[in-house]
Amino acid sequence: MKLALFVSGGGSNARVIIDRFQAHPEEGVEVVLLVSNKATAPALTMAAERNIPTLVIKRAEFRDTTNLLGHLENFGVDFIALAGFLWLVPAYLVNAFPDRILNIHPALLPNYGGKGMYGANVHRAVKANGELESGITIHYVNERYDEGNTVYQAATRLDPDDTPEQIAERVLRLEHGNYWRVIRGLVGG
């Protein structure tokens, strides 16, 4: 599997995935490209330090042209994992990679999903509702935010005193432990 990671920010999930598969080439997943929608994303430096090619995309080009497909083809990409990527994926990209784009969402979908529900917003909403459980959802991507078929979910108990930041930490730990496993499970599929 030649994997492209799409990110918007810190890229801690991307880092874990890159490190895992660089350390275990026998597992059959090669991260060949990291795509960022932000030129200042720390993930770009992180990837470059690991000798992963990077690409910065601009909104209009991503949304209104199919130029990205040529880049993905040049790198031989056959699977995409969104790892903290905040733009809606356009139809041409979904259609070019049917059931071959995964997203990780930091909550138990269908709750706490949809437009505007990302990162800290999710954890603040979970806290505001007094939830005693949150978790992660790994799902295929379609043209609507957070609505593709679920591949994997894992839950974590919350302490009533947890702050949104502590909830984020618990959830991120689950993400780091599971996203690469789920990707590995899809090799050859």
Per-state percent for the chain, helix, strand, coil, to nearest 5: 40, 20, 40
Residue span 77-116 as binding mask against ligand GAR, x where in contact by CB under 6 A, dash where not: ------xx-------------------xxx----------
Structure tokens belonging to residue 54: 């990077």
Q: Could you tell me if 146 and 105 are in contact, meaning their C-beta atoms sit under 8 angstroms apart?
A: yes
Structure tokens belonging to residue 97: 């990679």
Instruction: Kindly report the number of other CB atoms within 10 A of residue 96's CB atom.
Output: 17
The structure tokens 């275990």 sit at 24
- 22 lies in the site for ligand GAR, by CB under 6 A: no
Contact segment (CB under 6 A) with ligand GAR among 8-16, 21-29, 63-71, 181-189 equals 8-16
Among 172, 182, 184, 186, binds ligand GAR (CB under 6 A): 172
Distance CA 154, CA 171 (A): 9
Q: Which is nearer to ligand GAR, 10 or 164 (CB)?
A: 10
- Report, in Å, the least distance between residue 73 CB and ligand GAR: 26
Q: Which is nearer to ligand GAR, 65 or 121 (CB)?
A: 121
Q: Catalytic annotation on 71?
A: no
Q: Could you tell me if 177 and 165 are in contact, meaning their C-beta atoms sit under 8 angstroms apart?
A: no
Footprint on residues 122-141 left by ligand GAR (CB under 6 A): 122
Evaluated on CA atoms 185, 110, 77, 14, the torsion sign reads: negative
Catalytic position from the list 105, 123, 139, 176: 105
- 118 lies in the site for ligand GAR, by CB under 6 A: yes
